Amino acid sequence: MTQIALPFVWPDDPCDDDFLVTASNAGAVQLLEHWATWPVRSALLVGPRKSGRSLLARIFAAKSGGAMLDDADTRPESELFHAWNAAQEGRRPLVIVAQAAPPEWAVRLPDLRSRLGASPVARIGAPDDALVEALLRRGFLKRGLDARDDLIAWLVRHIERSHVAVIRVIDALEAEALGRRRRLTVSLARTVLARAALIEEP
């Protein structure tokens, strides 16, 4: 059954984008919403590039009064170790944002590795059809592009299932529409995206 993408917004800040929730990321949202049930006061939030993981972590920190560490897999391990300990001592929830969880994330410091192993993991997956559609609609709307329902439906069927691909598709079609002053159509999208190697069919 198709999931309907719904905005998950807290606080209501016009500077923040909505975090769109579908089956592909609902589990991560649920785990963060119920942080009081975590076995420890720290959790990992992992997911692919451009999946909104940093936005979701910021929403979590604002809602819970906690803290976030973004791009944790690029930070010094000693910094993460002390932050994890401080969260337990201060009883203040901490979400640690990374692209993947251990063991895929190769943590060298044994004490940090054991602490991360005790932390629950909120996972954002590749976008499902409902999220791809919602991201396309929002992306075209933000750029002032008229993307009709038939085009959206065609794109959902033909583009790669990744957050990065959705952005690249919108970028490519925006450049074509604005550069040539042409309305977006399925025919135009097929030509432009095939040329850009963003779909397989000609």
Is residue 116, in this structure, part of any structural domain at all? yes
The pLDDT tens digits of the residues spanning 14-31 come to 344 589 999 999 999 999
Last residue of a domain, one of 123, 143, 174: 123
Percent of the chain scored above 70 by pLDDT?
90
Identify whether residues 31 and 118 lie together within a single domain. Answer: yes
Identify whether residues 109 and 173 lie together within a single domain. Answer: no
Identify whether residues 35 and 62 lie together within a single domain. Answer: yes
Last residue of a domain, one of 123, 156, 178: 123
Domain that holds residue 157: 129-195
Identify whether residues 68 and 18 lie together within a single domain. Answer: yes
Identify whether residues 23 and 46 lie together within a single domain. Answer: yes
Residues 6+ apart with CB under 8 A from 93: 35, 38, 41, 42, 43, 60, 64, 65, 66, 67, 87
The pLDDT tens digits of the residues spanning 74-103 come to 999 999 999 999 999 999 999 999 999 999
Residue type, 51: S
Identify whether residues 96 and 166 lie together within a single domain. Answer: no
Identify whether residues 118 and 99 lie together within a single domain. Answer: yes
Other Cβ atoms within 10 Å of 192 Cβ, number: 20
Last residue of a domain, one of 63, 90, 123: 123
What CATH number corresponds to the domain at position 52?
3.40.50.300
Q: What is the pTM of this model?
A: 0.86
Is residue 202, in this structure, part of any structural domain at all? no
Does residue 10 surpass a pLDDT of 50? no
Is residue 105, in this structure, part of any structural domain at all? yes
Can you tell me the distance from the alpha carbon of 140 to that of 135, in angstroms, rounded to the nearest whole number? 8
Mean pLDDT score, 152-176: 96
Is residue 200, in this structure, part of any structural domain at all? no
Does residue 4 surpass a pLDDT of 90? no
Is residue 201, in this structure, part of any structural domain at all? no
Average confidence score pLDDT of the chain: 91
Question: Which residues are paired to 6 by β-bridges?
Answer: 21
Mean pLDDT score, 27-43: 97
* Domain tally, the chain: 2
Identify whether residues 88 and 137 lie together within a single domain. Answer: no
Answer yes or no: are the C-beta atoms of 23 and 130 closer than 8 Å. yes
Identify whether residues 140 and 81 lie together within a single domain. Answer: no
Is residue 1, in this structure, part of any structural domain at all? no
Other Cβ atoms within 10 Å of 2 Cβ, number: 10
Is residue 33, in this structure, part of any structural domain at all? yes
Query: In a 3-state reduction of DSSP, which class is residue 177?
Result: helix
Identify whether residues 81 and 159 lie together within a single domain. Answer: no
Does residue 41 surpass a pLDDT of 60? yes
